[in-house]
Structure 1
Amino acid sequence: MPERTDKRDMIALAASLSGIRFQWEDGVDASKVPEKAIPESWNREESNGTYGCWRVHMNIAQRIAAEQIASALVLEDDADWDVNIKNQLVEFARGTRYILDQERQATHSPYGDGWDILWVGHCGARNIEDVDQRYWVIRDDPTAVPQSLWGYPRRQPNLTPPQLNGTFNRVIYGPRRGLCTWGYAISLQGARRLLEDQELEQALPSDRALNRLCYVGGGCLAPYPPLIGTHRAAGSSDRDSDRGDAGGKYRKVGETGQIVFSTKLNLKQLIPIGEDTVVKSQWPDKTLLKEIKGTLEIPRGEGVYVRKDEYKDFPRPS
C-alpha cells in the first residue's frame, strides 16, 4: 500500500544492496472497488484484504499483457532473499533448462522457454509423485536450510528417492499445491493464461490462482527450499500484513523463514559493501556455514531422473 512507507523503505534498501532495480505496483484498497468490477465468481466471504491482494497481482498480469513484457519477477512488499540471490538464480536457471530439456538450446530466456510460472518464493509446494520426471539437485548448498527448518509440513515435497535425498540439498521441480506468493516470475504467456482463467473460469485468492494455473496447464517450476522468503520485522506482529490483524504479539528479533543469509537481517553489515563484509546465518548451529565473507559460489547441480515407483511413503499432517 502507498501509505506503508516503512515497508517501502526496507525493501528499497534491501534491493539497492543486492543490485536489484524494481518498480512499485500500488496495493489496492478493496473497499473502494465498485461491485461491478468484482468477478461474479469471487467468493464474497473472503476479506477485503484478500481481494485487494488478488487485484494487485491481476493488475501486474494486466500490465504484462498490455505492454507485451516477456517476463517479470513479482515480489511481495515483505519479501526477503539470500545475499547470494544472483548466484542462486544462475544455478536455478541451469535447473529449469534441464527440466525443460533445453540445456543445449539457444533460448530467449536464461531459464528456458515455454514456462508460465517460476515459483521461487513460496511457503510450501508439493511435487508430482505419480509420473516419471526430471529433477535438478544442488547438493551441499550452504544457502539451503536443513529439513528441520522447512515450513508448512502439509506442503512439503516428497524427496524420499535416494537421488533427491540430502540434508542440505536444494531441489528444482514441477510444483503442485503451492502456497504463498512471496516471489514468482511470470511470463507473458503465463500472464495471459492467468487473466483468462481468473476472468472466465473462477477468481481465486492469489496463491490458489497460481496453483490452479500450474495444475491445469503445467509450465510451472519451483525450488525447494525456496529462494524468496517473507520477512517479519522486530516489533508488533500487527505490522506484518495489511490483510488482517495478526494478534499484536511482540517480536524481539526480526526473522525470515528458510533464508540462510538473509539480506534484511544483515543490512547493517551490508551497507559498507566490500569483500570483507561478514554475513551471518540465521541458524549458525544448524546450517553448513555459520557466516560468510562476501558472496558464495553456489555448488553446481546435477540432473536426475526419478521413476514414480521410487517414492516412499511420506506422511503429512491432515
Structure 2
Amino acid sequence: MEAIANQLNLDFEFFPAVSKFDRKELEKFNNSDQLLTSQKACYISHYKVYQSIIANDYDNVLILEDDVDIEMNIVNIMTDILSDLPIGWDLLYLGHCGWEKHGIPVGRSNEHGVYKSTKPGCTHAYAVSSLGANKLLKNLELNNLKAPIDLEIIEKIQQGIIISYSFQPQVIVQWRSVDNPSDVNPGSTEGSYPLRNSTLHYLGFSWNY
C-alpha cells in the first residue's frame, strides 16, 4: 500500500484493523458460530472505521483493504465522477465482486461508468459518506452477527436503506496471489477484473499463480 501511495502521491491513513488472532477483541462479539473468525474480524474492523468517520466528523472516507491494486489515473477518474454523483449518496463502490452495469450510468469517466448498486459484494474499495456511516452504524448489529459484512450491506442496499453506487468497470481491484491470499476467504487466489493501467504492474509486480 505504501508503494501505491508513493507512486500515486496519495495520502493514506492506516487504520488498525482487528486481526483474526485477536481473541480478546473477537470475544466481545463472539456470539455467532455462522462466521469464520476472519469474517468476524473483517466485520468489526469496518464497523470501527464507520465509528471513526463520525467521531472525526469526516464528510466522506475511501476505505481500502490492504490487498488492492489501483488504476494509475484514479485521481482524474474520480474528478470526473464526483461532480456527477447524486446528492445524498451513502456508499460508492470503486471495487466490488459483482457485475454492476445496470441501467443508465449516473456518471462516466471514459470507459468507467457509475451505476446504481444492486449486489456489489466485497469490501476492498468503497467510499462512505458521513450520512452512510450513520446509517450503517444504525442498521448493522455488531452484537448479533448473522453474515459477512458485505452481505449485510447488500441486504440494506436492496431494502432501500442504503443509497449506493458502483463503478463498472472497477477502478480498484483485489490483488490475489499465492503469497498474498485472502484472509476472509482462505485458499482463494481468484483474480478479478484487470485494470487498464495497473499501478502494481507498473511497479514491477505480476500475478504469480
Could you state the TM-score of these two structures normalised by the residue count of structure 2?
0.83
Asked if the contact 2:114/2:168 (under 8 Å) is kept, the reply is yes
Instruction: Give 1:205's aligned residue.
Output: 148
2:174 to 230, 234, 244: 230
Asked if the contact 1:174/1:222 (under 8 Å) is kept, the reply is yes
Instruction: Give 2:96's aligned residue.
Output: 122
Give the aligned residue type for 1:24. F
Instruction: Give 2:56's aligned residue.
Output: 67
1:20 Cα deviation (Å)? 0.8
Spell out structure 1 runs of 4+ moving beyond 4 A. none
Asked if the contact 2:29/2:142 (under 8 Å) is kept, the reply is no
Q: Which runs of 5+ in 2 are unaligned?
A: none
Instruction: Give 1:185's aligned residue.
Output: 127
Going by fraction, where is strand more abundant, 1 or 2? 1
In structure 2, C-alpha distance between the alignment counterparts of 1:174 and 1:205, rounded to whole Å: 22
Asked if the contact 2:68/2:175 (under 8 Å) is kept, the reply is yes
In structure 2, C-alpha distance between the alignment counterparts of 1:35 and 1:76, rounded to whole Å: 19
Instruction: Give 1:135's aligned residue.
Output: 105
After TM superposition, list the pairs within 5 Å mapping 1:87-126 onto structure 2.
87-96=76-85, 100=86, 113-126=87-100
Are 1:18 and 2:8 an aligned pair? yes
1:218 Cα deviation (Å)? 4.1
Q: Which moved more, 1:47-56 or 1:26-35?
A: 26-35
Are 1:196 and 2:130 an aligned pair? no
Higher radius of gyration, 1 or 2: 1
After superposition, the C-alpha distances for 1:46-103 in whole angstroms (9 at most, x for unaligned) are 110111111110110111122221110000101111111111111222432xxx2xxx
In structure 1, C-alpha distance between the alignment counterparts of 2:42 and 2:75, rounded to whole Å: 27
SS of the residue corresponding to residue 121 of structure 1 reads coil
Q: Which runs of 5+ in 1 are unaligned?
A: 1-10, 101-112, 142-168, 270-281, 283-318
In structure 1, C-alpha distance between the alignment counterparts of 2:55 and 2:198, rounded to whole Å: 35
1:46 to 35, 39, 50: 35
In structure 1, C-alpha distance between the alignment counterparts of 2:102 and 2:118, rounded to whole Å: 7
2:114 to 158, 172, 186: 172
Instruction: Give 1:57's aligned residue.
Output: 46
1:246 to 168, 180, 187: 187
In structure 2, C-alpha distance between the alignment counterparts of 1:35 and 1:246, rounded to whole Å: 22
Tell me: CA distance 1:128–1:245, structure 2 relative to 1, closer, same or farther (3 Å): closer
After superposition, the C-alpha distances for 1:134-173 in whole angstroms (9 at most, x for unaligned) are 524648x4xxxxxxxxxxxxxxxxxxxxxxxxxxx43221
In structure 2, C-alpha distance between the alignment counterparts of 1:37 and 1:244, rounded to whole Å: 23
Aligned-pair Cα RMSD in Å: 2.9
